[in-house]
């Protein structure tokens, strides 16, 4: 808690909070050392130490051991498949998410609220329930005769389900704030619908679409629960990286599991960091403009 000591001079009214009295600098800018210690301890025990231990475990066989674990044919196959499936699903999301957001903002019809509410369900549902839910319609005893269990299409379906909200929820607010005047002006000058979309709407939507697509990619490459039941865990065909890691753990190869985990973690960390850096750069540019 940020509390001034008794010796701190009274701040005159209207003083901006960013300007701090010099006396408080040694207090780490308003946080006393004990509080900071608690925070560091908590974050370390909960997050930093497990991740550090994971890194150490992945390197327990030396750098060669790490390389050998992640370049085994089985590891390369499953990592490649995971990245490919995640990329494909993210592309589907980029297109369908934009279409859905467009319909939800620009169209008006009965039942629109229901569609809008459906978007939130995938984030609220536990992933294992998502798997069962999809299996009840597309599983072995499918009432409509569509059998996707054990197929890549089934894995993609599961990934598309759990990542559905990312692009929709990123694009919707941007589209809502987009002024239609420029579009009307272009139309009055004779521009066609597609030209207007490409030249006027898309440049504004693009950052939001890219950010939603990146988030859904980062989520999809680590996805586990929703894929477990519908994917069938077939090595080389439907087994994704997180299932491969679990299999290594069950086989007692902890160092190998840790090495593949580190690769997975590095990919999603890289994607998320890139997104954060580009979005903060764009914000700065906007503020400068």
Partner 1 sequence: MRQSRTLRLSLRALATVYLGLLVAVPVTMILVRALAPGLRTWWQWVTTPAAISALNLTLLIIAIVVPLNVVFGVITALALARGRFPGRAVLQTLVDLPFAVSPVVVGVAMIALWGTNGWFGWLPQHGIRVVYALPAMVLATSFVTMPFVVREVEPVLRELGTDQEQAAATLGASRFQVFSRITLPAIRWGLTYGVVLTISRALGEYGAVLLVSSNLPGVSQTLTLLVHGRFVDDHNVYGAYAASTVLMGLALVTLLVTTLLDHWKKQR
Burial class, 9, CB count within 10 angstroms (exposed 0-12 / middle 13-18 / buried 19+): exposed
Query: Do the Cβ atoms of 231 and 240 come closer than 8 Å?
Result: yes
Q: Please give the distance of CA 136 from its chain centroid, rounded to a whole number.
A: 26
Stretch that binds partner 1, among 68-76, 191-199, 202-210, 277-285 (CB under 8 A): 191-199
Residue of 7, 64, 107, 288 interacting with partner 1 (CB under 8 A): 107
Query: Do the Cβ atoms of 75 and 244 come closer than 8 Å?
Result: yes
Stretch that binds partner 1, among 10-18, 62-70, 206-214, 279-287 (CB under 8 A): 10-18
Residue 126 interacting with partner 1 (CB under 8 A): yes
Residue of 193, 198, 206, 235 interacting with partner 1 (CB under 8 A): 193
Contacts of 205 (CB under 8 A, 6+ apart): 98, 171, 174, 175, 178
Give, as ranges, the residues between 136 and 155 that touch partner 1 (CB under 8 A): 136-138, 141, 143
Residue 19 interacting with partner 1 (CB under 8 A): no
| Closer CB to partner 1, 208 or 262, in the complex | 262
Residue 222 interacting with partner 1 (CB under 8 A): yes
Residue of 66, 81, 105, 122 interacting with partner 1 (CB under 8 A): 122
Query: Do the Cβ atoms of 239 and 81 come closer than 8 Å?
Result: yes
DSSP secondary structure letters along 218-234: HHHHH--HHHHHHH---
Please tell me the count of residues contacting partner 1 according to CB under 8 A: 94
Residue 79 interacting with partner 1 (CB under 8 A): no
- Write down the least CB distance from residue 181 to partner 1, Å: 11
Residue 221 interacting with partner 1 (CB under 8 A): yes
- Write down the least CB distance from residue 219 to partner 1, Å: 9
Q: CA neighbours within 13 Å on the CB side: how many for 57?
A: 18
- Separation of alpha carbons 240 and 154, rounded Å: 12
- Write down the least CB distance from residue 129 to partner 1, Å: 5
Residue of 67, 129, 206, 282 interacting with partner 1 (CB under 8 A): 129
Radius of gyration of the chain (CA): 25
Residue 84 interacting with partner 1 (CB under 8 A): no
Binding mask 229-258 for partner 1 (x = CB under 8 A): x-----------xxx-xx--x----x--xx
List of long-range contacts for 138-141, beta carbons under 8 Å, 24+ apart: 138/230, 139/230
Dmax (CA) of the chain: 77
- Write down the least CB distance from residue 288 to partner 1, Å: 22
Burial class, 70, CB count within 10 angstroms (exposed 0-12 / middle 13-18 / buried 19+): middle
Residue 94 interacting with partner 1 (CB under 8 A): no
Residue 187 interacting with partner 1 (CB under 8 A): yes
| Closer CB to partner 1, 2 or 206, in the complex | 2
**Helix, strand, coil percentages for the chain (3-state, nearest 5):** 75, 0, 25
Give, as ranges, the residues between 40 and 69 that touch partner 1 (CB under 8 A): 40, 42-43, 46-51, 53-54, 56-57
Residue of 160, 167, 171, 205 interacting with partner 1 (CB under 8 A): 160
């Amino acid at each position: 808690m940020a509390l001034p000591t008794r010796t701190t001079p009274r701040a005159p009214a209207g003083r901006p909070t960013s300007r701090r009295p010099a006396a408080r600098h040694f207090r780490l800018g308003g946080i006393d050392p004990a509080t900071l210690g608690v925070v560091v301890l908590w974050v370390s025990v909960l997050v930093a130490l497990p991740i550090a231990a994971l890194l150490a475990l992945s390197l327990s066989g030396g750098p060669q051991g790490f390389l050998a674990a992640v370049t085994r044919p089985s590891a390369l196959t499953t990592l490649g498949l995971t990245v490919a499936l995640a990329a494909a699903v993210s592309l589907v999301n980029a297109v369908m998410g934009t279409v859905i957001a467009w319909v939800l903002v620009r169209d008006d019809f009965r039942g629109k609220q229901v569609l809008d509410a459906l978007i939130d369900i995938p984030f609220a549902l536990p992933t294992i329930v998502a798997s069962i839910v999809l299996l009840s319609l597309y599983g072995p005893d499918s009432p409509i005769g569509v059998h996707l269990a054990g197929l890549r299409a089934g894995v993609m379906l599961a990934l598309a389900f759990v990542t559905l909200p990312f692009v929709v929820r990123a694009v919707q607010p941007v589209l809502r704030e987009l002024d239609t005047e420029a579009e009307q002006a272009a139309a009055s000058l004779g521009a066609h619908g597609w030209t207007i979309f490409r030249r006027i709407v898309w440049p504004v939507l693009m950052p939001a679409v890219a950010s939603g697509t990146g988030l859904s990619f980062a989520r999809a490459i680590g996805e586990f629960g929703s894929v477990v039941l519908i994917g069938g865990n077939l090595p080389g065909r439907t087994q994704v990286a997180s299932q491969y890691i679990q299999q290594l753990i069950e086989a007692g190869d902890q160092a190998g599991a840790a090495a593949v985990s580190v690769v997975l973690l590095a990919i999603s960390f890289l994607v998320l960091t890139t997104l954060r850096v580009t979005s903060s750069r764009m914000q700065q540019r906007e503020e400068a403009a």
